[in-house]
Amino acid sequence: MHDDAGLQALREAARLSPDNLPLRQHLAGQLLAKGYLAEAEAEYRAALVLAPKNADITAGLAEAFVRQSAFGAALAALEPLLASPGYPPRLGVLAARALFGEGDTARAGYRYHEAVSRDPSVADADLAARLSAPPAPLYATAPPAAAAPADETSTEVEHSGLTFADVAGMDTVKEALRVKLLLPIQQPELFAAYGKRAGGGVLLYGPPGAGKTHLARAAAGELGASFVNVGLADILDMYIGSSERNLRATFELARRNRPCVLFFDEVDALAARRSDMRQAHTRQVVNQFLAELDGVDQNANEGVLVLAATNAPWYVDVAFRRPGRLDQPVFVPPPDAAARAAILRILCRNKPLAEMDFDAVARVTDQFVGADLKGLVDRAVEVKLQQSISAGRPIPLSTPDLLAAAKSVRPTAVREWMATARNYVMHANDSGAWDELMPWVKGKW
């Protein structure tokens, strides 16, 4: 109680002086010490914006990540500092803990011993003991033979009527998906000639509502493949403890319906939820997911294309991005004015329309993503429907209707998303993973 009152006072003080670095750092340290990990993470991140590359803050942030089992994120935070020779040895130990958490015992051992040889006081007896233990198996053991029938998952198979023609704008993204997913299947000889084979998954990332799910569904239709849409958070929540079985069943469902696009939404949930799940169990789910992605044998996933989506790519474990897994990140950007006009045109298709000036609506919907535009059109249609019922005849939708609706709908989180992305691009991009975002985060949002 007393502790929390002290914390509360610190929080309040930090809120009143957001630029007071020592205060924020102190608050973050207290939060970390008391186990408020997510909040500590947020505080350290805010502090890092004030003092980029500060070793103490980076160490705090990395520890908050490690203790939430967000090992990839911890490594991403540490990377900029680890790159310079003579980095503080305790950062090396933190990196070792993260690498060990990822199952990369060899690199963890290297980092650990390098750090301790420079400063023996940073030694971590527990980690040292675990590093010298015989290696744990890379993957969780196969589920018991009496595993539940594959149909146990409530996931359904869809046959998407959508194609890329239903996805407005995003020409670069569509082209990237064509090359990565469609061409290898449509022209296997050409790919084989260059020693490349179809396979591996694509990680779609971008602000919420920008059209990742829509795009995945359209890719399935474009390919004439079935579509299985899985919310990973659902899989994890459904029956804690049966998550591995649910995952297995989902992959089996996709394999029985090949060619199939298997779409995992919120793939970061695997990392983000680790904090509130028993760690050993979570590790097993992650391992199971990776094992299924890799396929039990080489042909297990033939005809199964895995697309995953996330609004928070920085939380996705680097283990997921290794070759053959979700090794191809594709940024799904917020639409520009021309794309917004095209999305509006698609959303208004098959509705009674007056002559429309979609460009005019696009001009007043800066920062709207696809989902926001859908909300806008739905609202305008509702109003029109009411008017038509009163008038007793259909009144076509017009440009002023959309302009009026635009005034009453607020865009969702693009600006906040870009601010977060900017942090990662500026401060945790030494591996170049977020290069594609650079021109975007430099724009005005």
Whether residue 316 contacts residue 273, with contact meaning beta carbons closer than 8 Å, is answered with no
Q: Residue 175 — φ and ψ, nearest 5°?
A: -65, -40
The long-range contacts involving 418-423, CB below 8 angstroms and separated by at least 24 positions, are 418/207, 418/443, 418/445, 419/445, 420/312, 423/45, 423/48, 423/49
Which residues make Cβ contacts (< 8 Å) with residue 54, sequence separation at least 6? 47, 48
Name the residue number minimizing CB distance to ligand ADP: 370
Q: Is residue 210 at the binding interface for ligand ADP, with CB under 6 A as the rule?
A: yes
Which residues make Cβ contacts (< 8 Å) with residue 15, sequence separation at least 6? none
Q: Is residue 343 at the binding interface for ligand ADP, with CB under 6 A as the rule?
A: yes
Which of 67, 174, 214, 255 binds ligand ADP (CB under 6 A)? It is 214
Which of 170, 254, 262, 361 binds ligand ADP (CB under 6 A)? It is 170
For ligand ADP, which is the closer residue by CB, 349 or 393?
Answer: 349
- Judged by CB under 6 A, how many residues of this single chain contact ligand ADP? 17
DSSP annotation of 53 reads T
Q: Is residue 177 at the binding interface for ligand ADP, with CB under 6 A as the rule?
A: no
Which of 32, 40, 73, 167 binds ligand ADP (CB under 6 A)? It is 167
Secondary structure of 212-276 in HEC code, one letter for each residue: HHHHHHHHHHHHCCEEEEEEHHHHHHHCCCCHHHHHHHHHHHHHHCCCEEEEEECCCHHHHHHHH
Q: Is residue 91 at the binding interface for ligand ADP, with CB under 6 A as the rule?
A: no
Nearest by Cα to 264 from 240, 285, 289, 281? 289
Q: Is residue 411 at the binding interface for ligand ADP, with CB under 6 A as the rule?
A: no
Which of 52, 109, 143, 208 binds ligand ADP (CB under 6 A)? It is 208
Which of 45, 67, 212, 422 binds ligand ADP (CB under 6 A)? It is 212
For ligand ADP, which is the closer residue by CB, 169 or 199?
Answer: 169
Q: Which amino acid is at 223?
A: L
Which of 72, 92, 201, 370 binds ligand ADP (CB under 6 A)? It is 370
Per CB under 6 A, contacts with ligand ADP among 301-320 are: 309
For ligand ADP, which is the closer residue by CB, 228 or 371?
Answer: 371
Q: Which amino acid is at 310?
A: T
Question: What residue ranges bind ligand ADP (CB under 6 A)?
Answer: 167-170, 208-214, 309, 343, 346, 370-371, 374
